[in-house]
Structure 1
Amino acid sequence: MATGEPPAAAFYEPLGDDRFAGSSATAGPWAPEFQHAGPVSALLGRAFERHGPGPGGGRVGRVTVEILAPVPVAPLRVTTRVVRPGKRVALLEGELAHEGRTVARATAWRITAAPEGLEPIENAPVPPPLPPPDSLSSAAFEGWAGMHLDGYLSSMEWRFVRGSFSQPGPGEVWARAKIPLVAGEADSPLVRTLVLADSASGVGSQIDFAKWLVINTDLTVALHRDPIGEWLFMSARLHASPGGSALAESTLADTSGSFGRGLQTLLVDTQP
């Protein structure tokens, strides 16, 4: 059972020269020695935001992360570069490496902010209210046997509106990180989003993890605006087909309404 307290003061400790040590808080539910892709994605997103902006400035409107190998709870090096410069749009590429081996690769579109005179268009329902503090996070894990709960999962505060990690989806949850991504820093809206977004396959899953091997190969998050506040809402669902694969999709919102979407491609196979 998760302790309810984060196992570390931050997901990562900076080591200098674009290197970061992953703390025990990054550990995912499958094994304590491998990181959850939420902090991994957020570390790449942070690097994209800090890569020198072009002449048009702009904001990161889309991030796609490819998970090339299990990411160990260990020091990582982050590198970024511009592969398509432009005044209004620019394509960035980033990599995470452990001991010289690339374990994750990502791309991001940096897009010039839309004019203030643009009329807002919203086609997603207003999210339900944030549940009260007595909606204990620990209830979300009851019955989820065999999972490592004292890493990433305990470093987030979860308030489920519908479902839980141990119940078949679709699911709806308000969540926030209890600790910053990098020690000594305040998280940006993009970082807060990416820390949470990879959890869609768990929040919305309708697949029995005890029966099936389920691995997400990637994560794409597209934001039409930056979220406001610490608490973020996720409505997640899953689609799967025999002879095919699975997709986990999510709607992301804050107290003002929807701000983006998430999508994960999932491998589904029999347990070894």
Structure 2
Amino acid sequence: MNATLPEAFYRDLGQGRFQSTSATAGPWSPKWQHGGPPSALLGRAMERHEPREGFHFARVTVELPRPVPVADLQVSVRTVRSSRRVELLEGELGSGGETVLLARAWRMAVSPPDTPTLRPAPKAPRLPAAQPPHTMAGAHLDGHIAAMEWRFEPGAGFDTTGPGTAWARQRIPLVAGQEDTPLTRALTVADSNWAVGFELDHHSRLVINTDVTLALHRPPVGSWLCLRSATTASPGGSGLAVGQLDDLSGDCGRVVQSLLVSER
């Protein structure tokens, strides 16, 4: 672990309030958070909201209406609909009296033991050996990028034109002194999906995702997660980044992000 990193992405201040550390900062500015940690913080709150045995989170969609500041955050969650088999939750993060992140999640009863295993996509490439810290041209590197360990395919990195593949794991926990969960680990990495496979020129144009959807057909296992990302785009439209999420056991879900593509 990098000795200069904070002990976690957040510190729990109690009563739904959290202090953001410098590790949450995204690649575009040390003042604004990467989408992964706050998505995971809200996912953590959803998991703790009236938990139900025998249920799992099948889908979480995070909306990013404005940049999330590296500041204290207030977390709230409510149940929109609950039944015997499915439950829809809604949550938000606030800072300075403004809503900075919204999410909806489906929590549903787990499938029965005789459900067939259907995984049509090929397995991810094997986890590469340890690599030196990765960089990104023009990016702030001392936040989320440094707080994650990244392993790309040989010769590749954030500045390689996609599609892209990368394994990643956290160097620090989400909340100081508390265990991470499969859902929070997946959400911490999911917002990096389109950055793993940069295919649009984000230097000369404004390219930014407005949302991230994580869909899981099973909970991820272990700390290492792999994203295989590709982007489609059209003139007169927008961009769409789609990634397959794997753990060391194989396919566990998908990540989808809408991309705003605009002149600067």
TM-score, normalised to structure 1's length? 0.93
Partner of 1:47: 45
2:22 matched residue in structure 1: 24
CA distance in 1, matches of 2:112, 2:4: 41
Contact 1:5 1:155 in 2 (8 A): no
The answer for unaligned runs of 5 or more in structure 2 is none
Q: CA deviation at 1:127?
A: 1.2
In the alignment, the residues of structure 1 paired with residue 35 and residue 255 of structure 2 have an alpha-carbon distance, to the nearest angstrom, of 13
- Rounded to whole Å, the distance in 1 between the matches of 2:129 and 2:116 is 33
| Correspondence 1:37 to 2:35 | yes
Corresponding residue number in structure 2 for 1:153: 145
Does residue 210 of structure 2 align to residue 212 of structure 1? no
Runs of 4 or more, structure 1, over 4 Å off, are: 3-6
- In structure 1, stretches of 5+ residues that fail to align are none
Of 193, 196, 202, which residue of structure 2 is paired with 1:203?
196
Of the three residues 225, 240, 243, the one matched with 1:247 is: 240
Secondary structure at the aligned position of 2:153 is classed as strand
Does the alignment pair 1:63 with 2:38?
A: no
Shift of 1:7: 2.6
* 1:85-119 CA distance string (max 9 Å, x none): 11100100000000221111100000001111212
Equivalenced residue count is: 263
SS in 2 for 1:14: strand
User: Structure 1 counterpart of 2:201, which letter?
Assistant: D
| Worse-matched range after superposition: 161-170 or 144-153 | 161-170
Residue 176 of structure 2 aligns with which residue?
Answer: 183
The within-5 A match list for 1:158-177 is 158-161=150-153, 163-177=156-170
Partner SS state of residue 148, structure 1: coil
Please report how far the alpha carbon of residue 45 of structure 1 lies from its aligned counterpart in structure 2 after TM superposition.
Answer: 0.7
Say if 1:204 and 1:6 are closer, same or farther in 2 by CA, change over 3 A: farther
Match of 1:105 in 2: 102
User: Which residue, 112, 115, 138 being the options, matches 1:115?
Assistant: 112
Question: Helix, strand or coil: the match of 1:149?
Answer: coil
Q: Secondary structure at 1:42's aligned position in 2?
A: helix
Does the 8 Å contact 1:6/1:155 carry over to 2? no
Contact 2:168 2:226 in 1 (8 A): yes
- Deviation of 1:167 (Å): 1.3
**C-alpha separation in 2, matches of 1:228 and 1:36:** 23
Retained in 1: the 8 A contact 2:88–2:104?
A: yes
RMSD (Å) for aligned C-alpha atoms:
1.4
**What do residues 212-232 of structure 1 show as CA deviations (whole Å, max 9, x unaligned)?**
111110000000001111111
Q: For residues 61 and 68 of structure 2, what CA distance do their matches in structure 1 show?
A: 16
Counterpart residue type for residue 90 of structure 1: E
Match of 1:237 in 2: 230
Structure 2: distance between partners of 1:51 and 1:57 = 15
2:250 aligns with 257
Change (3 A) 1:130 1:244: same
Identity of aligned residues (%): 51
> Could you say if the C-alpha distance between residues 61 and 15 of structure 1 is closer, same or farther in structure 2, counting changes exceeding 3 Å?
same
In 2, distance between residues paired with 1:197 and 1:57? Answer: 24
Q: What letter corresponds to residue 21 of structure 2 in structure 1?
A: S
Is contact 1:171-1:203 (8 Å) kept? yes
TM-score by length of 2: 0.96
